[in-house]
Chains A and B, each alone.
Chain A
């Protein structure tokens, strides 16, 4: 049982019909907030206000919003460098995130971390890590700490389809399974590790099976469908929380933009991208559910969008007004004074 791969559909009608209006509106807002934030970040990048690497989460919003909908406040989150969505979904302040992107003192890391390196102990968000796969071992350590303390929390360690071929991921799978650590490994399979498709990088592209030799159950989930994500997340979190050890969720998703801002994404066809955007968009999916059920009107959704854009514009304004770090900050935070 433990090693089998579950392939059950979580899109059952009963699940869909029991999702209430308030939940759907909440998911819509959370996902739209990430999208509008990322669009604005892309814009600021284009204006030269954001430097370096900037990896946008557009298209993948249902994954982190669905997982957070399933999680408890005591649970912890860690991810790689495509992290803006995770921070917003964890409840971090868009102003602080955007100001970090612009490298200003109002940013979460006082401008010293940038897009890939932000943290919030208060919101149980442990980064934001720039080395592919490193966050998986670190996240296993977060799970270890939950178990050591017996606090009932579960660590969610996110990785991309590129990270699953790093050696330390398997070292971590082994220890997590060996010690029954409360960790949910979330593989965000957006089909390309930078410009290399999963099929060209992975001998077995069924990534949810990657824990099989450690007895870690894995499940493939439609990562564009927030209800499917949430349900799978609830089951995996309960499994880990109840002492059964880790679980792997492969979220099949898609990023609409390039790997980073400077990636023209010529390794995939326009038709592929537009098909995902037009037929599988996670936000449009929820919008349709809301409209079809009569939970909201076009006008009401438009006004939600407007208010989100207000928040995002405010964050962007803050991120431009906030000053660069004081030069003296160069020398702070290297060590904690004992």
Chain B
């Protein structure tokens, strides 16, 4: 049987084209790679190369023909030893056209956010009890010390864990979070990098492909914007693109959000940016116990984890369980204060401000429940819904900007899954929608403060 040469597609969108010219005549020998014709579309002209060898037996579509559909036979090629008589009857038989259209089959299970259970589960109660049990034996640590201890314990446990970043080793950390690690683990595992975020983020991801477990410290997350491509395109997407064969077990950590008087370029909460990316986990601790239990979980996690710390919290002290196996689950929120009138959801430094607001509200007879999200992706929708079922009112306190922020996401989810339980609109307390100013008074005005949470909670309760 002669081989049919089909009208090729030049691009994913081409459906037809013109045979501009034939470069071979009937009877000419054809070798693989020979240009046999030139075809054109409105966008381009391209040469058609032979992919089989033989003799050009018959030209089916003469040059100058326009609107030739892709996959139409345009010529017949005789294989070695084949007679031209074989051409008769071979032509015109329509070839199997086009691949199976994929659009037909794309009815996939409906996705979107995980549905929230109607009420508390035994699992959640058990998890809360397990966490409480760890607090039987505690000691007081700053957030800074808790983070350091988490890294040190995991580095003792697993030789493939190492920490790299600017000033993490000899300087003992720009914010002293890695203090003492160089002394204990040496320069092989505690690595000072040049100021080269894009490069060392990519290097870290590559090392994690090879099975190491890097902890990459950004001096602050403001500088991680330089590394965004490696975090998103390489770390977050590779597992999926590899069909599950190869992933990036890496932690990117460092202070996030506003510090104090460092102005716009050094003061931004990036939570929503990372939270929107499938393939990442995003964690944002508040207390020292959160910091320790969640960082250990992040280091042990086989996925890329964005670990958003807060510089102002570094020096604050909390009780932390002494048990080295105190590891908190990623994706679970914690109810820090129970109450029945209004739910305040917060993360990172806003948890402290929410608790402060709750005390003020209590004085005014409003009993607020405060949820510390701990993880932003996966987001523990179920815990928020359970609380809203009880209080019917929700305030989200966030340090990010309001547009497309954490609160915007939570408000959308509550509308989807807890609409009937809300007695008032979801209120957001966010950073003001401006770059953060330097002047002390303006900075204070721009950042969400407890009094604004109080005002929002009262509004949610329809109280003055």
Partner-B contacts on A (CB < 8 A): 36, 39-40, 42-43, 45-49, 51-52, 76, 78, 102-103, 107-113, 117-121, 126-131, 134, 136-142, 144-146, 148-149, 155, 167-168, 171-172, 174-175, 178, 256, 258, 261-264, 266, 277, 320, 324, 327-328, 330-336, 338
Contacts and interface: CB of A to CB of B under 8 A. Distances in A.
Contacts of B199: 137, 140, 168, 171-172, 174-175
Given A78-B206, A336-B239, A331 B11 contact: no
A324 B241 contact: no
A43 B7 CA distance: 10
B200 interface: yes
Given A138-B234, A174-B194, A338 B302 contact: yes
A130 B237 CA distance: 11
A174 B6 CA distance: 50
A49 B99 contact: yes
Nearest to B38: A264
Given A39-B33, A134-B229, A148-B188, A119 B9 contact: no
B198 to A, nearest CB: 5
Contacts, number: 217
A126 B234 contact: no
A24 to B, nearest CB: 21
A142 B207 CA distance: 5
Nearest to A176: B203
A17 B241 CA distance: 45
Q: DSSP class of B's interface residues: helix, strand, loop or mixed?
A: loop
Contacts of B8: 43, 45-47
A48 B209 contact: no
Nearest to B329: A338
Contacts of A145: 206-207, 210-212
Interface of B: 6-12, 32-33, 43-46, 48-49, 51, 70-71, 98-100, 102, 105-109, 111, 162, 188, 193-194, 196, 198-212, 229-230, 233-234, 238-247, 278-279, 281, 300-303, 330
Contacts of B32: 36, 39
Contact of B206 (A39, A144, A149, A263): A144
Nearest to A39: B51
A141 B100 contact: no
Given A39-B51, A168-B202, A174-B196, A144 B207 contact: yes
B233 A134 contact: yes
Given A42-B49, A78-B206, A119-B245, A327 B234 contact: no
B70 A141 contact: no
Nearest to A139: B206
Given A46-B6, A48-B9, A335-B303, A171 B206 contact: no
